[in-house]
């Protein structure tokens, strides 16, 4: 199992803290049953931290007409909205909520060029709450296909997620399915599609980042 580069910064620190806490528990509580329970819990926690930063192999079927899932998770919203940050017109919004157990890589939904990127500071409402799309810390990235169609993918921090990472800049060329960002510990990604797009998922579906077709454009 590959570990994401963000995990290589966090995992050693987390493991060191857990080891120190386990030593304190052992010396303070000695042979009491609670010490064994707490140490066992800390081992599980360490395993979850490592698991969170996993990087699974994904195979993206490149297709200029497809918009693929930018993230793993659960589809929590599909609706027509007025997108006011970049398009200033009506778009179809498809929102994917990512739990702490999901893979947190973010992948380019289409091939083309990054035509816009802006990071916004903000609040940390739960990522499944509708207002998080406009009020939480977020990063909006627009991908422009060779045909000229633009798709906005918005990374949104949640209550637990406190850092949005992005690895592209305007003008960069990108291939559908390539990693463009990462969000730590539970979050959400909103896609904004043209009204002519044919959405291929339903509420409650669990798309796989880099593989599941969200819509045709």
Task: Name the region of 130 (left: φ>0; alpha: ψ -120 to 50; beta: rest).
Answer: alpha
Q: What are phi and psi of 11, to 5 degrees?
A: -60, -50
Euclidean distance between CA atoms 121 and 140, whole angstroms: 12
- Our answer to whether residue 187 is catalytic in this structure is yes
Q: What kind and span of H or E run contains 6?
A: helix 5-29
The catalytic residue among 95, 132, 133, 187 is 187
Euclidean distance between CA atoms 169 and 113, whole angstroms: 9
For residue 29 the two structure tokens come to 């509580």
User: Of 17, 35, 19, which Cα lies nearest the Cα of 27?
Assistant: 35
| 3-class DSSP assignment, residue 131 | coil
Q: Which residues are catalytic?
A: 187
């Amino acid at each position: 199992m590959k570990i994401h580069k963000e995990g290589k910064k966090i995992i050693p620190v987390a493991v060191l803290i857990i080891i120190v806490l386990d030593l304190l528990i052992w010396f303070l509580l000695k042979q009491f049953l609670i010490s064994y329970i707490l140490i066992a819990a800390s081992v599980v926690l360490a395993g979850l931290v490592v698991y969170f930063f996993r990087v699974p192999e994904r195979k993206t079927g490149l297709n200029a007409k497809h918009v693929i899932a930018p993230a793993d998770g659960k589809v929590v919203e599909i609706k027509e909205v007025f997108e006011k940050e970049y398009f200033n017109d009506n778009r179809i919004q498809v929102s994917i909520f990512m739990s702490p157990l999901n893979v947190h890589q973010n992948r380019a939904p289409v091939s083309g060029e990054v035509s816009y990127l802006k990071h916004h500071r903000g609040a940390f409402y739960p990522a499944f709450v509708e207002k998080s799309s406009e009020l939480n810390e977020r990063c909006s990235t627009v991908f422009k296909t060779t045909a000229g169609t633009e798709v906005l993918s918005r990374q949104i921090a949640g209550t637990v997620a406190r850092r949005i990472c992005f690895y592209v800049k305007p003008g960069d060329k990108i291939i559908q399915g390539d990693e463009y960002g990462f969000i730590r510990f539970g979050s959400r990604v909103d896609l904004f599609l043209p009204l002519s797009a044919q959405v291929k998922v339903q509420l409650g579906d669990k798309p796989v980042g880099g593989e599941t077709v969200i819509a045709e454009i």
